[in-house]
Amino acid sequence: MYDIQLSNQDDVVVDRDSQSKTCKRLYKGNKDALGWALDGIARMVIFASAAVFLSTSLINLAKRSVGCSTEIPEGSNKVPECNEKIYGLRPSSILTVYGTILGLVVAVSLPFVGALLDHTHHRKAVGQISALVQVILVLSLCFLNENNFFIMMIVQVISQLAGWVHTLVM
């Protein structure tokens, strides 16, 4: 629908009538550059959604599963503290443990993955597979509920590991 024309390398002219020429002219027809840019946008959306939406959902689901309130009571300005435990942790500690486990797994595994990637001719295939694995695992998080939030937290750790492998490839 839009045709982006570059004139004098600085001015961008947009024509609404031709969509087919857009990709050819964006990044001067360099498909790798366009793919890299689109991949970067997708990776940031996945990482940000995990940080913002999933973290809030995990805490709230953990609180609900032990019977704690997730709403701010009338006349107060904060949610009451939940001292109950689930899987040996307070719900407020779940994200700290999740982040620690993810950080350790990534810190231990990525140097080995990087060494393997440096000595293989299948870098593009690894990038495609890691992206596919991450997308499938992120889509499975649509089924997150009170009964499976701990399993989904493990799925998210694996998804983020696949995301870091993909970032390493890129």
**Has residue 80 been placed in a domain?**
yes
> Angle at CA 54, nearest 5°, toward 144 and 57?
65
pLDDT at 19 over 60: no
Range in 16-30, 64-78, 111-125, 141-155 the model is least confident about: 16-30
pLDDT at 53 over 80: yes
Mean pLDDT of 134-147: 88
Cite the beta strand spans of the chain per DSSP E. 3-7, 11-15
pLDDT in tens, 91-134: 888 888 888 988 898 899 989 988 988 888 888 899 889 989 99
User: pTM to 2 decimals?
Assistant: 0.71
pLDDT in the model for residue 136: 93
pLDDT in the model for residue 3: 53
**Has residue 3 been placed in a domain?**
no
pLDDT at 65 over 80: yes
**Has residue 130 been placed in a domain?**
yes
Query: Which residue segment(s) compose the domain that 102 sits in?
Result: 30-169
pLDDT in the model for residue 83: 83
**Has residue 7 been placed in a domain?**
no
**Has residue 18 been placed in a domain?**
no
**Are the beta carbons of 123 and 169 closer than 8 angstroms?**
yes
**Has residue 21 been placed in a domain?**
no
Looking only at Cα atoms, what is the longest distance across the chain? 65
Question: What is the distance, to the nearest Å, from the Cα of residue 42 to the centroid of all Cα atoms in its chain?
Answer: 8
- Position with higher pLDDT, 68 vs 51: 68
Looking at residue 92, the DSSP 8-state letter turns out to be G
Distance CA 151, CA 99 (A): 15
- For CA atoms 136, 142, 147, 151, give the dihedral sign: positive
Query: Average pLDDT of the chain?
Result: 81
pLDDT in the model for residue 13: 53
Distance CA 108, CA 10 (A): 44
Q: What percent of the chain has pLDDT over 70?
A: 86
Mean pLDDT of 148-160: 87
Mean pLDDT of 164-169: 88
**Has residue 43 been placed in a domain?**
yes
**Has residue 165 been placed in a domain?**
yes
pLDDT in the model for residue 10: 53
Domain count, the chain: 1
Distance CA 125, CA 40 (A): 17
